[in-house]
Structure 1
Amino acid sequence: MKKLWVRHIKDALHTGFAGHIDMSDYEKASSSVREKAFLSRSLAALAIQRFTELSAKQAAATVVDGSHDNGIDAIAIDAASHRVILVQSKWDGSGDGSLGLGDSRNFIAGFKDLLDTKFDRFTPRLQAREEEITAALDDVDVTFVLVVATTGRTELAKPSAAVFQDVLDEMNETQQLVSVEMLGLVEFHSFVAEGLGGTRIDFNAQLENWGTVSEPYEAYYGVVAASNVAEWYERFGDRLFSQNIRKALGNTSVNDALANTILDSPHHFWYFNNGVTALCESIKKTPRGAATRTFGDFSLTGVSVVNGAQTVASIHKAWQRSGSSLDGAMVWVRFINLEACPEGFATAVTRATNTQNSVETRDFVALDPQQDRLRTELVLSLKKTYAIKRGEPVPSPENGCTVVDATVALACANREPSLAVLAKSKVGSLWESTEKPPYRTLFNPTVGPYRVWRCVEVMRHVDLTLSDLKKKLDGRPRSVCLQGNRLVLHLVFREIDLQRIDDAEYDWSSELRKVPALTERALSSLVKHVDDVYPSSYVTSLFKNITKCRDVVQKVRDDWPKDFNDGS
Structure 2
Amino acid sequence: NILSDMKQWQRELNLASLIADNTPNDDLPFQVHLVSAEDIQQWLAAGTRSSVDLDDVEIEKYGQIDEPHQAFYGLVSGDQIADWWKIYGTRLFTKNIRNLLGKTEVNDAIKVTASQNPELFWYYNNGITLLVNSVEPHRRNASRGFERGCFRFTDVSVINGAQTVSSLGMMAGSVGENLSNIKISARFIKLSGNEDIANSITKANNFQNRVLGRDFASQRPEQHRLSKEIAIEGYQYQLLRSGPNDTSGDASIIDLDEAPGQ
TM-score by length of 1: 0.28
Aligned equivalent of 2:53: 202
Aligned equivalent of 2:153: 300
Aligned equivalent of 2:32: none
Aligned equivalent of 1:278: 130
Change in Cα spacing, 1:239 to 1:193, as seen in structure 2 (3 Å) is farther
Q: 1:95-244 residue pairs with structure 2 within 5 A? A: 196-204=47-55, 205-244=57-96
Judge conservation of contact 1:208–1:223 (CA < 8 Å) in 2: yes
Structure 2 gaps, min length 5 = 1-36, 211-262
Distance 2:108 2:166 in 1: 10
Q: Are 1:287 and 2:165 matched, yes or no?
A: no
**What do the CA deviations read for 1:340-378 (whole angstroms, capped 9, x no partner)?**
x855000001100011158xxxxxxxxxxxxxxxxxxxx
Judge conservation of contact 2:71–2:189 (CA < 8 Å) in 1: yes
Q: Secondary structure at the match of 1:289?
A: helix
Q: 1:410-489 residue pairs with structure 2 within 5 A? A: none
AA aligned opposite 2:168: I
AA aligned opposite 2:162: A
Change in Cα spacing, 1:356 to 1:195, as seen in structure 2 (3 Å) is farther
Judge conservation of contact 1:255–1:310 (CA < 8 Å) in 2: yes
Distance 1:323 1:193 in 2: 35
Give aligned pairs, total: 170
Judge conservation of contact 1:194–1:239 (CA < 8 Å) in 2: no
Q: Are 1:326 and 2:179 matched, yes or no?
A: yes
Distance 1:270 1:193 in 2: 38
AA aligned opposite 1:287: R
Aligned equivalent of 1:313: 166
TM-score by length of 2: 0.60
Q: 1:325-364 residue pairs with structure 2 within 5 A? A: 325-339=178-192, 342-356=194-208
Q: Secondary structure at the match of 1:208?
A: strand
**What do the CA deviations read for 1:294-351 (whole angstroms, capped 9, x no partner)?**
0011110100000010110111123232136425111100000113x85500000110
Q: Secondary structure at the match of 1:259?
A: helix
Of all paired residues, the percent bearing the same amino acid is 38
Task: Answer with 1 or 2: which has the greater Rg.
Answer: 1
AA aligned opposite 2:53: D
Aligned equivalent of 1:464: none
Q: Secondary structure at the match of 2:151?
A: strand
Choose between structure 1 and 2: higher strand proportion.
2
Kindly indicate whether structure 1 or structure 2 has the higher relative contact order, using CA contacts under 8 Å at least 6 residues apart.
2
Choose between structure 1 and 2: higher helix proportion.
1
Structure 1 gaps, min length 5 = 1-13, 19-191, 359-568
Aligned equivalent of 2:230: none
Judge conservation of contact 1:194–1:238 (CA < 8 Å) in 2: no
**What do the CA deviations read for 1:52-111 (whole angstroms, capped 9, x no partner)?**
xxxxxxxxxxxxxxxxxxxxxxxxxxxxxxxxxxxxxxxxxxxxxxxxxxxxxxxxxxxx
Judge conservation of contact 1:277–1:307 (CA < 8 Å) in 2: yes
CA RMSD of superposed structures (Å): 2.4
Q: Secondary structure at the match of 1:323?
A: helix
Q: Are 1:255 and 2:107 matched, yes or no?
A: yes
Change in Cα spacing, 1:312 to 1:268, as seen in structure 2 (3 Å) is same
**What do the CA deviations read for 1:143-194 (whole angstroms, capped 9, x no partner)?**
xxxxxxxxxxxxxxxxxxxxxxxxxxxxxxxxxxxxxxxxxxxxxxxxx967
Question: 1:247 deviation in Å?
Answer: 2.0
Question: 1:197 deviation in Å?
Answer: 2.5
Question: 1:248 deviation in Å?
Answer: 2.0
Distance 1:212 1:268 in 2: 25
**What do the CA deviations read for 1:181-227 (whole angstroms, capped 9, x no partner)?**
xxxxxxxxxxx967742421111211000001111110000001111
